[in-house]
Amino acid sequence: MKRSNSFMLWFGMTVQLCFFLFIGFSEGSTSISGRRALLKNNLTQASSSPAVKLDQNHNQVVIDNGIVQVTLSKPEGYVLAISYSGIDNVLEAQNQNNNRGYLDVAWSTHEGFQQYHDSWKIEGTKFSVVEMTEDQVEVSFLRGWTHSMNGYIPINIDMRYIMRRGNSGYYSYAIFERPEGFPAAQVFQIRLVYKLRQDKFHYMAISRKRQRVMPTAEDRNSGQTLAYPEAKLLNNAKNPRIRGEVDDKYQYSAENKGNRVHGWISFDSEPHTGFWVIAPSNEFRNAGPHKQDLTSHVGPTSLAMFVSTHYAGTSVSINFEEGETYKKVFGPIFVYLNSAPSQDNLDSLWSDAVRQSNEEVRSWPYDFPRSPDFILPHERGTVKGQLRVRDWFKKGWGIINAKFAYVGLALPGENGSWQRESKGYQFWTQADENGYFEIKYVIPGDYNFYAWVPGFIGDYRYNATITIKPGGVIKLGSLVYSPPRNGPTIWEIGVPDRSAGELYIPDPDPKLVNRLYQNDPRNGFRQYGLWERYTDLYPEKDLVYNVGIHKHDKNWFFAHVARRTGNQTYQPTTWQIKFEVKDDTSGNYTLQVAIASANDAKLQVWFNDPRDVDPHFETARMGKDNAIARHGIHGLYSLISVEVPSDRFKKGNNIIYLKQSEASGSFQGVLYDYLRLERPPITGRM
Ligand SMILES: *[C@@H]1O[C@H](CO)[C@@H](O)[C@H](O)[C@H]1NC(C)=O
Ligand SMILES: *[C@@H]1O[C@H](CO)[C@@H](O)[C@H](O)[C@H]1NC(C)=O
Ligand SMILES: *[C@@H]1O[C@H](CO)[C@@H](O)[C@H](O)[C@H]1NC(C)=O
Ligand SMILES: *[C@@H]1O[C@H](CO)[C@@H](O)[C@H](O)[C@H]1NC(C)=O
Ligand SMILES: *[C@@H]1O[C@H](CO)[C@@H](O)[C@H](O)[C@H]1NC(C)=O
């Protein structure tokens, strides 16, 4: 393509994009074009659609249902080609066979990080046809492990592909199994990767608002590396509309609970074509509903993340002891393709992908995977009940319903252990506004019931192991969570929601923006380099917060980071909270510090006294979740309750000093979720 043509293409797309932003759209409404896309889909799903066919030769398997054709290498199980709607391969055919569609696992031997291997693509060694009917084909690529396979992950991995009649796509899942006698191993990441055609897929969509024309891999290569290799300043991008922006794949992360469908659209084909990765459930993903992970990013690349340490650190990795047995099914996920005539509005492919993802969620758990390890709907159980909260300070002496609480089942552990739990399945839902919940389709086994309630600090755990049996219904009745609380609130900063999102988020450096987030305050935290803005705002003196005058969303910087003092040099920062105590009292005050993220940080606290004495309280060095550098508004949650003898405070004006004392780099720090000072308990009341 000549340069002038490609400029025209970009220009045309930008115009379309503006039009699309101008008219807006909502997920619920079906535009004319959306309906057309649906209609096309429904027609192809009619029973008249062709039978599923399987062809194979000595090194390839081709599965075809007349809508989509998938070619896999045999016996490795790499996806070599996906042919759809006149495009012979939506994957990048210039890439090697093992670099288009694959499963990979990052792991190491148990001793730890020294032997960390960047990532390992799983190569099947034994191909078999599991099922072959006119309605459905399922194939298996098994990579078994034996003691002679030193250097390969000691897990038997069975990669499965399912194609069904009339479906515009195919399903993919993997069964991980460790029989007795396998050596120790530590797993950091499990994911499926798809690399799409670079000449066609330029537009990425990961949510209703988070959609844009993306830079190319070439734009990134010709750009300037910022503070780490993933972040690039695109100062040589071909498309003038993109030139000068920042690109970083972590700007496109999502929480598990919101990571249902994402993908790419090609306008460089007639009809326009969409490629989507749909996750119908989170049960197989690690570390609970708030765990953040990657989606799609420049490449063009689409990921189905099952397990990772992103935004959490290696404390969430999976550790297998020597001889430890294991079995878990990851997926299925659905790879969906759609198309719409090029005159349609831009949103038709996205809204059709959302419709399809809703349909997959409704059909979950699927009843068609043929592995006996995939637990079918009728073999699963249910847990229901109501959660309430007793926080006597908030509502008199009463108990209130745990409105919209997050409730879930995960392997047995301590309060809040689910956010580091990666081995087992997790089943989460959100309670209704009266705190009622029903967790359906739970895989049989032993769990703890966990919860947290927006608006309240701490973590709830039901004090008994819950054993789910096939078809069983467990009624927990009415449960009461008593969040940590020692006395009445004197002041509070922020909202207890496990995120720093409601605090002051600065604008990015104007030279380092991602334009997607410029008019999107809710996603403003995803801009690059916000950690550097603290020094810009507080070049010499640190943050001082006056209770009663200041507001958390204007005056409490979202990240307690170090101050830049020169080239790669930093100094610790000490924030002050100034407040008034109305009367003299005895007993202990309580300072509740809820932390939304910590990265190689240490918090030291002084009450009124000059700061040259030892801190009155300090934490150990804490956190490795790396949420600051990854534009996360939270990492792992923790709660610190500090008892403060009453003689540390006096009637009148008081100051609490909070020092983040670790300052060897710009990504060390703490994201506060919420802070609260409680008066000493009123005797007789507690
Ligand atoms: C297409 O099928 C879905 C259910 O599969 C249905 O809800 C929808 O109304 C159908 N649309 C059309 C245009 O027939
Ligand atoms: C842990 O759970 C128990 C029982 O629900 C609760 O009383 C306690 O406050 C929790 N602790 C924290 C730190 O959330
Ligand atoms: C939790 O369970 C243990 C063992 O069953 C019991 O000893 C303890 O009293 C229980 N704690 C609460 C708060 O119910
Ligand atoms: C900053 O320090 C690094 C090494 O710490 C050095 O390589 C670089 O040249 C320095 N940059 C400037 C502008 O002084
Ligand atoms: C106050 O806190 C200190 C330190 O945690 C503790 O030793 C003491 O027992 C507490 N006093 C009261 C009255 O709770």
By alpha-carbon position, which residue is closest to atom 12 of ligand 1?
A: 39
Specify the ligand 1 atom closest to the Cα of 41: 1
Q: Ligand 4 centre from 228 Cα, in Å?
A: 15
- Which ligand lies nearest the alpha carbon of 664? 4
What residue has token string 């100094």? 571
Quote the DSSP letter at residue 236: T
Q: What is the pLDDT of residue 397?
A: 64
CB-based pocket (< 6 A), ligand 5: 587-588, 643, 645
Structure tokens at 192: 């499926």
Pairing label, strands 573-581, 544-546: parallel
Given the CA of residue 588, which atom of ligand 5 is nearest to it? 1
Cα separation, 505 vs 145, whole angstroms: 49
pLDDT at 120: 86
pLDDT at 45: 52
Atom of ligand 5 nearest to the CA of 645: 1
Predicted pLDDT of residue 613: 85
Please list the alpha-helical segments (H only) found in 139-237: 217-221
Rounded CA separation 483/354 (Å)? 37
pLDDT, block means (10 residues), the chain with 686 residues: 36 36 33 41 62 97 98 98 97 97 90 56 97 97 94 94 98 98 95 97 97 98 97 97 98 98 93 97 98 98 98 96 97 97 82 98 98 98 97 77 98 97 98 98 98 98 98 98 95 98 98 97 97 97 98 98 95 98 94 98 93 90 97 98 96 97 96 97 60
Answer for the pair 556, 543: CB distance below 8 angstroms, yes or no.
yes
| CB-CB neighbours of 20 under 10 Å | 15
544, 581 in Cβ contact below 8 A? no
* 406 alpha carbon – ligand 2 mean position (Å): 15
| Helices 347-362 & 32-44 angle (0-180, nearest 10) | 50
Closest CA to 282 of 257, 245, 253, 299: 257
Cis bond before residue 300 (omega within 30° of 0): yes
Report in angstroms the alpha-carbon separations of 302 from 189, 206, 554: 15, 10, 37
- Name the residue with the closest Cα to ligand 2, atom 6: 460
- How far away, in angstroms, is 226 Cα from ligand 4 center? 14
Residue 343: predicted pLDDT: 76
Find the ligand nearest to 37 CA: 1
Contact indicator for 624, 600 with CB cutoff of 8 Å: yes
Q: Judge whether 643 and 566 are in contact, CB under 8 Å.
A: no
Q: Which of 459, 642, 686 to mutate to test the pocket of ligand 2 (most atoms within 8 A of CB)?
A: 459
pLDDT at residue 269 in the model = 81
> Which of 486, 585, 586, 588 to probe ligand 5 with, by most ligand atoms within 8 A of CB?
588
User: What integer pLDDT is reported at residue 686 of this predicted model?
Assistant: 42
Ligand 3 centroid to Cα of residue 462, in Å, is 10
CA distance 638 to 378: 37
